[in-house]
Chain A
Amino acid sequence: MRLTCPLCGERDRREFYYYGAEDYLHRPSEGAPLAEWDSYLHLRDNPAGVTKDLWYHEAGCSQWLLVTRNTVTHEISSVEMVAGRKA
């Protein structure tokens, strides 16, 4: 598996660290109901198909990356930097 880092270019999977679902980018605001926190912390989809998750380019530019990939075909359709991205 290879990811195309927006800064470093195409790199081997061993340079990256997998963090988890994109959900971590959507932290509930202060005072959000418990159900939202529960969902944010514990509830994850497990799609057969397109999924988005966070990867860290730890052996490269040290950027967090938002990766869109397909769990069925293993196709990686986009890799974006989390920094500077519009929420």
Chain B
Amino acid sequence: MPELIAKSALEGRSLTLGGVTLAEVDVGPITSIALLPGGAKAVAKGLKPLGLSMPEPNSFAEKKGARIVWTGRDQAFLTGADCPDMEGAAVTDQSDGWAVLALSGAAAVDVLARWVPVDVRLAAFPVGRALRTQLNHMNVILLRSGDYAFEIMVFRSMARTAWHELEAATHMVAARAGVKI
């Protein structure tokens, strides 16, 4: 079998403007774990070797480079590690279906606020939280990875649009900051 080279949606592009950095990041494999009825125990056992467990709603957890993100009722995405064999869940590889953008900097919160209809300020959306929401009209998974850092998981087919929207908002926020009142 020929060796195929995986390509990311945006070829790892990045942009820094007005103290905000937007970059495509590679989070490694992405696996959806959707609990089957009564499968919670088996899944807890399956995730044990990674030191992770199914996350509470609106949260994510990390351990040694592996991350588990809540993505819905009885569903989570495991990223950054191969998924161990497990019973009790429908496990599907989603690696090729998503693009992940990292947005960081002091004004990152202002950039997001232009597109996301939830309060993303630190007090309302602290580190370790993960939300399913919208970026303009695109469904995204939004993670608070640091005080001034977010990660945005978006459908790969919408990666360029998401980039465009965030780039435009970054320009607007930077331009606004440059205007002396």
Contacts and interface: CB of A to CB of B under 8 A. Distances in A.
Interface residues on B, range: 10 to 19
B121 interface: no
Contacts of B58: 7-9
A14 B132 CA distance: 13
B57 A8 contact: yes
Given A8-B57, A11-B118, A12-B118, A62 B72 contact: yes
Specify the main secondary structure of chain B where it touches its partner.
Answer: strand
A49 interface: no
Interface string A4-35: 00011101101100000000000000000000
A61 B118 contact: no
B133 A11 contact: yes
Q: How large is the interface on A (under 10, 10 to 19, 20 to 34, 35 or more residues)?
A: 10 to 19
B117 A12 contact: yes
B181 to A, nearest CB: 29
B133 A7 contact: no
Interface of B: 57-58, 72-73, 117-118, 131-134, 139
Interface of A: 7-9, 11-12, 14-15, 58-63, 81, 83
Given A11-B118, A59-B133, A61-B72, 20 more contacts: A7-B57, A7-B58, A7-B72, A8-B131, A8-B132, A9-B58, A11-B117, A12-B117, A14-B134, A15-B133, A58-B139, A59-B139, A60-B132, A61-B73, A61-B132, A62-B72, A62-B73, A62-B132, A63-B72, A63-B73
